[in-house]
Structure 1
């Protein structure tokens, strides 16, 4: 399921308090999706790393009441009121005894004398057994307590998210050019770093910080791995020698059209960032001169940046002339 489908599923399951387990490879953004949906639903989020718990942690510690009987004091990290999401991240990385302690908690919503408040929902997440992450096989008795969702990476949705977060255009342009490198994880290899949505976010932050040119490539290798970093460095050399986007917008009928696909990908991204009511006509005019796939890319990304682009007369003419490509 794509991130948007995971979100739609959670928006259905959280209000009915149905426990959910989200499966996915490392670095795809499982915990971020849970946090985003909780915020959208205006739910409190309590994030527990199950791998850090001991089997007795959920139950708490005993105390002697005035009548001489023993009662259990639940831990402070468990909610006592309101509505929210109790997120058990890395649940299947927890030792079997910790997973066993979650049986009653997840199905019956209680452990010992503690009861999860009415408005709270349990969501768990973890890596798949084949991902070479630290995992323990989930017992069938625990597995049967969840609705299971499989998380898949979607390039277009990640690009939308990255634009919303303001990640540097250089990284977004490269991911458009090499979408297979958004997430490239081989569990059979012993790579310390590999391309993933999480690690490309790291790379974007590194570039935004303006690293010393002598160490930039090493930092990128440390974030996304040597293979992806080498391709990105080659792409960046082209990207940083692009025609001036302002000059293209000023004279869209005469501006140069690069021959290299990598350069065109990068230029389309740079132009789309400048989309607005005052530049829409020029951007559409330049798109009309591009090969069809790049024209669609430029116009689509421009509309994402500035929806008002669709209101300019040039857009209607361009869409009519390119209806065979759009539909």
Structure 2
């Protein structure tokens, strides 16, 4: 279970923070359990800000990767340092660039110490880091059994702020809708939100549910894994408890009336009583709506319990925002004016 502290941010809040700190070149350290989305959020920020993104993995680096390659100057009894690879890219950057130090807490102390001059002095053995570069770092926590030995105190103080990223169901659902995750998986997480995050650090060769592993389940479903292998494959991706619940939910989902039939005859289509079935049906219908089917869609939405009617319309707008310009949406929103869409 995630312990929420006063410095905890959900994904949308961390993204909002990055959108301010990156242009201001303020370094931020993000801690959090494996699979909560640290790297993915920063990738989104780099895309929105149209910045280059250099991802470094200090855990597999040597101190020389942060100082340059030493060489003897011709004809002189002295040496200098030659920047190479990512180091040279940080010096030569001619456009906004994020340098992401991933898994910093797993890096040996010598590598962390070598990185300090990047973070504070912004110099590498006489070579100045480009003014276009902003540094961001991330680390797991010691309790996550991810090989984190800690971060040196002088390194921590180089960051403008240290925050912890924690999962959030609403943020994950928005991400899942934007990234084409299966509607049945999204409906399942709506029904069983606690299963988005049931991370258990273990030395066993097993996975447990977290945003990354649940997304992997979605990718496997999109790949079309055979139904007879679903349980085994899902258990391998996100754990046996998750697989038991999801495969049971999928059995319900597959027995639903086809969404097209509901949209053809919304006045007589069955309205399920079971919450799990309602979540499943709403997830399927939201993917089917269009301006052409809006009248029948809202006719059925009006027959649902208010909680599910709002859920259905919210997800539908995410897929087809043009339905907001239809007369039936205007009427529906007037009838639900006390609910923020």
TM range (shorter): over 0.9
1:72 aligns with 2:84: no
- Whole-Å separation in 1 of the counterparts to 2:263 and 2:79: 76
- Whole-Å separation in 2 of the counterparts to 1:8 and 1:207: 31
Aligned counterpart, 2:51: 43
Aligned counterpart, 2:109: 96
Q: What is the aligned length?
A: 327
Q: What SS does the aligned partner of 1:181 have?
A: helix
Instruction: Please report how far the alpha carbon of residue 227 of structure 1 lies from its aligned counterpart in structure 2 after TM superposition.
Output: 0.5
**Residues 266-307 of structure 1: CA distance to partner in whole angstroms, max 9, x if unpaired?**
100111111211111111111111111111111111111111
Aligned residues of 2:68 and 2:124 also touching (Cα < 8 A)? no
**Unaligned segments of structure 1, at least 5 residues:** none
Aligned residues of 1:220 and 1:229 also touching (Cα < 8 A)? yes
Aligned counterpart, 2:135: 122
Aligned counterpart, 1:131: 144
Instruction: Please report how far the alpha carbon of residue 312 of structure 1 lies from its aligned counterpart in structure 2 after TM superposition.
Output: 2.0
Instruction: Please report how far the alpha carbon of residue 326 of structure 1 lies from its aligned counterpart in structure 2 after TM superposition.
Output: 4.8
Aligned counterpart, 1:186: 200
- Whole-Å separation in 2 of the counterparts to 1:305 and 1:33: 21
Instruction: Please report how far the alpha carbon of residue 137 of structure 1 lies from its aligned counterpart in structure 2 after TM superposition.
Output: 1.5
Aligned counterpart, 1:227: 241
**Unaligned segments of structure 2, at least 5 residues:** 1-8
Aligned counterpart, 2:170: 156
Instruction: Please report how far the alpha carbon of residue 324 of structure 1 lies from its aligned counterpart in structure 2 after TM superposition.
Output: 4.1
Instruction: Please report how far the alpha carbon of residue 315 of structure 1 lies from its aligned counterpart in structure 2 after TM superposition.
Output: 2.2
Instruction: Please report how far the alpha carbon of residue 181 of structure 1 lies from its aligned counterpart in structure 2 after TM superposition.
Output: 0.9
Aligned counterpart, 2:93: 81
- Whole-Å separation in 2 of the counterparts to 1:312 and 1:125: 45
- Whole-Å separation in 2 of the counterparts to 1:28 and 1:230: 22
Aligned residues of 2:140 and 2:148 also touching (Cα < 8 A)? yes
Computed over aligned residues only, the root mean square deviation of the Cα atoms, in angstroms, reads 1.7
- Whole-Å separation in 1 of the counterparts to 2:329 and 2:93: 53
**Residues 1-24 of structure 1: CA distance to partner in whole angstroms, max 9, x if unpaired?**
122211111111111211111111
Instruction: Please report how far the alpha carbon of residue 110 of structure 1 lies from its aligned counterpart in structure 2 after TM superposition.
Output: 1.6
- Whole-Å separation in 2 of the counterparts to 1:252 and 1:213: 30
Aligned residues of 1:319 and 1:326 also touching (Cα < 8 A)? no
- When normalised by structure 1's length, the TM-score is 0.95
- When normalised by structure 2's length, the TM-score is 0.91
1:240 aligns with 2:276: no
**Residues 178-232 of structure 1: CA distance to partner in whole angstroms, max 9, x if unpaired?**
1111121134785720111111111111111222233221110000101111100
Instruction: Please report how far the alpha carbon of residue 161 of structure 1 lies from its aligned counterpart in structure 2 after TM superposition.
Output: 1.4
1:25 aligns with 2:33: yes
Instruction: Please report how far the alpha carbon of residue 65 of structure 1 lies from its aligned counterpart in structure 2 after TM superposition.
Output: 1.7
Aligned residues of 1:167 and 1:204 also touching (Cα < 8 A)? yes
- Whole-Å separation in 2 of the counterparts to 1:133 and 1:113: 35
Aligned counterpart, 2:6: none
- Whole-Å separation in 1 of the counterparts to 2:206 and 2:68: 37
Aligned residues of 1:49 and 1:90 also touching (Cα < 8 A)? yes
Q: Alpha carbons of 1:249 and 1:163: their partners in 2 closer, same or farther (altered >3 Å)?
A: same
Q: What SS does the aligned partner of 2:85 have?
A: coil
